[in-house]
Structure 1
Amino acid sequence: MILIETIQKMYEHLIWANQRILETLQSLKIKNQEGSRLFSHILFSEKVWITRLQGMDSSRLPIWSDVDIEVCTELVMQNEESITIFFTNLAETDLEKIISYKNSSDKEFKNSVRDILTHVALHGQYHRGQINSRLRANGIEPVNVDFITFMR
C-alpha cells in the first residue's frame, strides 16, 4: 500500500473512533467529566494541527478546555470536514513538505506533513485509551476503538 493510502486509512479510523467515543459519552446517564475533558483535548488538538497543516496561525486555539459534549459534537463534525478536505487535496509528494509552526508556548518547530499526520493519529488513540480506562474505572464497558476492529 502506498504511504498516503496508509495515512488516509489511519484517518478514516480516527474519524470512526471519535464517533464511537462521542456516542458513548453522549449515552452516559452520569457525565464522565474526565472522559469528556480528554475527548475535547483530542478534538481541540486535531483542530490545532489541521490549522497548522493549512498554513494558518493556531496560536489562539485552545488545546485543553472544559467544554460540554455538545461542543465536542460540533468539533467532531468540523474536524471530519476539515480532514476530508485536507486529504482530498493531498498528494503523496506533499507528505515530505516541512511545516513551520509555533506551539502553545510560542516556541517554533518544523516537522514534515507525514510526521504531523502520524502524530495526530497516534495522539488521539493514546487519549482514547485513557478515556476507556476512565470508563472502566466507573464500571462502564470500554469502547472498542481498535484499528483492526475498524478494518473488519
Structure 2
Amino acid sequence: MTASQGLAQLFQYKRWANQELLALGAASQGALPADDYRLFVRILNHTYVVDRIFASHLQGLPQTTYRATNTDATPELATLSDAVRASDDWYVQYVGGLDDAQLAEPVAFRFTDGDTGRMSRSEILNHLVVHGTYHRGAAGRILAAHAVQPPRDSLTTFLHRLEPDRRW
C-alpha cells in the first residue's frame, strides 16, 4: 500500500466515523440536556470548519470564509451532517487523486489568527485525521455521560466491516 493509498483509506474511515457519530447524535438529542447537545454539535462543527479551512489551503485558494476555527452560530445538526458528508466526500476524492510526490509538496498558509505556517500535504492530511479523531472522542464522551453508548468507530471496526473476510 502506497502512502497515498493509506491516506485515502484513512479519509474513507473518517467519513464513515463522522457519519456514525452524527447519526447517533441526531438520534440521541432527547437524551442530552440542551447545553450538552449544543456542545456536541459545536465540537463537530469545529472539526468541519478546520477541515474546510485546510481544504482551501490544500487547493492554494485564499481562505476567506472563516475568521476562527468555529462559527459564532451553532448550526442545526442535520445541516452540519450534510456539510460534513460533502466535505468528507471532497477529501476522499482529493486524497485519492494524489501521488506520493504531491503528498510531499509543501503548502504555505495563514492560520485564522494571522500567523503563518507551512506543512506538507501529507502532514496537513494526517493532522486532519488525528484532529477529527480527537474531537469525535470528545463528542462521544458527551453522549456517554448521558448513558448513550458512543459508536464503535475505531479503524479496526471500519476495516472489518469494509472487508469482513479479514476476520478469521
Give your verdict on TM over 0.5: yes
Percent identity between matched residues is 19
> Which residue matches 1:137?
145
Residue 70 (structure 1) aligned to one of 78, 100, 106: 78
Q: 1:112 to 1:92 in 2, by over 3 A?
A: same
Distance 2:43 2:105 in 1: 30
Give per-residue Cα distances to partners, 1:87-107, cap 9 Å, x unaligned. 243122101101011001111
Unaligned runs of 5+ in 1: none
Distance 2:7 2:22 in 1: 22
Q: Which portions of structure 1, spanning 4 or more consecutive aligned residues, are displaced by more than 3 angstroms?
A: none
Distance 2:87 2:142 in 1: 24
* RMSD (CA atoms): 1.5
Contact 2:21 2:150 (C-alpha < 8 Å) held by counterparts: no
Amino acid at match of 2:18: N
With a CA cutoff of 8 Å and minimum separation of 6, indicate the structure with the bigger relative contact order: 2
Report 1:1-150 matches (<5 A): 1-30=1-30, 32-61=37-66, 62-65=68-71, 66-150=74-158
TM-score, normalised relative to structure 1 = 0.93
Distance 1:150 1:84 in 2: 15
The structure number with the bigger radius of gyration is 2
Amino acid at match of 1:113: R
TM-score, normalised relative to structure 2 = 0.84
